[in-house]
Structure 1
Amino acid sequence: MAIFQFFKFIIQSSFQFYSQEEATWSNNLANQAKKQKINSNRINKHNRQTVNNPKVFKKNHFTIKQIKQKMTILQMFNSKMTNLIMDSKLKQIKQKVAKINL
């Protein structure tokens, strides 16, 4: 009987511990979400101000960096497309050569 009581005590204490851990974990998640929302609101406000004010918009390095990133992505896409086109043309040429050889 004492062993049963002992295991019952261990199980109850572990449940209490895990419920406390879960409560703190969910509380931390809620706090992080609030902080991220506040930060995103600040960034949005900053972006609105920079877009509306052309002098600040020109000096703002963040948008210039974004534009450069977009350009590099476009260049990568274009290079991949040209590679695909070249590959398809090479395949067509090989097919024609194979037909001629037959």
Structure 2
Amino acid sequence: MTSQTFILELPIKADDSQSRTIAKKFEYGRMLYNATLGSGLGRLTQMRQDPEWRRACEMSKGKERNELFRRLNRKYRLTEYDFHADIARHREGT
């Protein structure tokens, strides 16, 4: 069952200088997001080629399977903290 959703959009009252600053910051955020996403998707592709990942997919659901997936996520740096580190690296330009 879905509920109704209403969205109210209000224009930002900003002068040209502020509009340019906001546009630059949004563009920087978009580039940072895409760089981080690209890094993560590359590592995800590598993980899915690992025979351990295939084995984990074939296992029945349970603690052992979850632990194997957690280990793989750590091995291929796909945890939330790894993504925070990626963002920091991309922000520094390294």
**TM-score, L = length of structure 2:** 0.40
Higher relative contact order (CA 8 A, sep 6+): 2
Greater helix share, structure number: 1
